[in-house]
Amino acid sequence: MGMWASLDAMWEMPAEKRIFGAVLLFSWTVYLWETFLAQRQLILLFGGIPYLWRLSGQFCGYAGFGPEYEVTQSLVFLLLATLFSALTGLPWSLYNTFVIEEKHGFNQQTLGFFMKDAIKKFVVTQCILLPVSSLLLYIIKIGGDYFFIYAWLFTLVVSLVLVTIYADYIAPLFDKFTPLPEGKLKQEIEVMAKSIDFPLTKVYVVEGSKRSSHSNAYFYGFFKNKRIVLFDTLLEEYSVLNKDIQEESGMEPRNDGEGDSEEIKAKVKNKKQGCKNEEVLAVLGHELGHWKLGHTVKNIVISQMNSFLCFFLFAVLIGRKELFAAFGFYDSQPTLIGLLIIFQFIFSPYNEVLSFGLTVLSRRFEFQADAFAKKLGKAKDLYSALIKLNKDNLGFPVSDWLFSMWHYSHPPLLERLQALKNSKQD
């Protein structure tokens, strides 16, 4: 009777309150349902972690490795876990690429290219993950009371090595990088880099158009060996997606003849994609501002401070048997499982707070980089470039301030334009 009385009282409320209440109830229902369906929640609910650990132990047993080979069992566990994650995430990735991205004209992949790319990513990930994990577990095992210091130093070295080799040895496995042809754009990039003492050695164009029409630009490298990478979709005169339009207007497309991979679909938009040279320079002025203002170094320092703190807390908590028992490990306390439980689950509230703090900091860095580009005299071109890139990527310029404050690492478009507008060049 109490429930029905509550329903009757609700129906007696004014229509606007009933609508608001129904929308609020539906939103919370969807949120709770999606949370329940999250892969992590399902794995916890059905005891997936201890089951996968036992399964990995069985595989090791078939190969003649007993329980004393914990590191070997941990590697089998990682392989099975990442395989499970890849397979369960594949349908959603397919839907995102071939339904959502396709619907809005971004997808340039064929199904064959997509699957080949996914397999390649999985293999490369295992080639890095398994050796690094085995060494990390070994260091924790033999490190004694101060293992957290050695583990942190090891992860620091690994991260720096990966950053160093990624663009030269890993990224080319998936994308084609070609030097930016000699010309006015390259000369102006070199002049701008020299004006702020940026130690530029090479400028590359990456053939991002074979996957998507989204665009990007970034720099990489340590010390005196900096390199700039531009997506071909960022360059109006270089993008493969503008080929048909350029041919119709009598312009020669700027590519090396190999960009027209057979795996790229002929999906050319009715408008030109990318930015003019002046706008590209403005975007690069923003990116170089991150370097000049020390944003990259600051992010590395923050990341490593957080990493050290997490390893220290892990050292404090790893001996607590009740943590393992809470996740179904009553008879053993595997080191890898301890890392998983503590870093992914116990630290999850801290990780949320840290993520919000980094989001706020990232937005501040973006405003500072825009201001740096403005000081280089690029305010007008950056203003138009931001509008053009937002339009190319079908971004919605208006965002709820609370939602964007929590989720967006970059400020909403209108906020960035307003910051540039007051001193925008005429």
Instruction: Provide the CA 5 distance to its chain's centre, in angstroms.
Output: 50
Q: How far apart are CA 179 and CA 201, in angstroms?
A: 11
287 is catalytic: yes
Choose, from 236, 279, 287, 415, the residue flagged as catalytic.
287
Kindly tell me the burial class for residue 351, based on how many C-beta atoms sit within 10 Å of its own C-beta (0-12, 13-18, 19 or more): middle
Residue given tokens 């490795």 in the structure block: 65
Sheet with 226-231, side-by-side order of all strands? 177-179, 200-206, 226-231, 217-220
Contact 180, 207 (CB under 8 A): no
Rounded-to-integer distance, Cα 309 and Cα 313, Å? 6
Burial class of residue 84 in the structure, from the number of CB atoms within 10 Å of its CB (0-12 exposed, 13-18 middle, 19+ buried): middle
The residue whose two tokens read 């260091």 is 139
Rg from Cα positions in the chain = 26
Q: Looking at residue 180, what DSSP letter applies? A: P
Cα dihedral sign for 249, 252, 255, 259?
positive
Which residues are known to be catalytic?
A: 287
